[in-house]
Amino acid sequence: MIGATINRTKSGQIQSFTISGHAGFADRGSDIVCAGVSAVSFGAVNSVITLTGVNPQIEQGADGFLHCVIPDGLSESAQEKVQLLLEAMVVSLQTIEQDYGKHIKITFKQ
């Protein structure tokens, strides 16, 4: 199962997220759940970098591990853009979870 943890600040902004694990929906290379989660999460990170100029701290590892931390001290404008992109990622992940809940679990932490 893929685990996605979204870490929010007390004010509700996304500060970081971590995704790890494998969906186990199908064989490697044919797993649409893994492919969807990867596309959504990496697309969000790439969008943050390209569209806002913000460079988050990114860590990748084995077993589908991705950890992304948004830096502190962003301008209000940059923070708004980053948050919109990350909230869009969350909506997309929740859509995948609705259809494939046995293969992905999203957890929110504050």
Q: Among the options 22, 67, 68, 103, which is catalytic?
A: 22
Q: Strands, E, within 13-61: which ranges?
A: 14-20, 57-61
Q: Which helix (H) or strand (E) holds 3?
A: strand 2-8
Tell me if residue 67 is catalytic. Answer: no
Q: Among the options 34, 67, 68, 103, which is catalytic?
A: 34
Tell me if residue 22 is catalytic. Answer: yes
Please tell me the distance from the alpha carbon of residue 37 to that of residue 48, in angstroms, as a whole number: 17
Catalytic residues: 22, 34
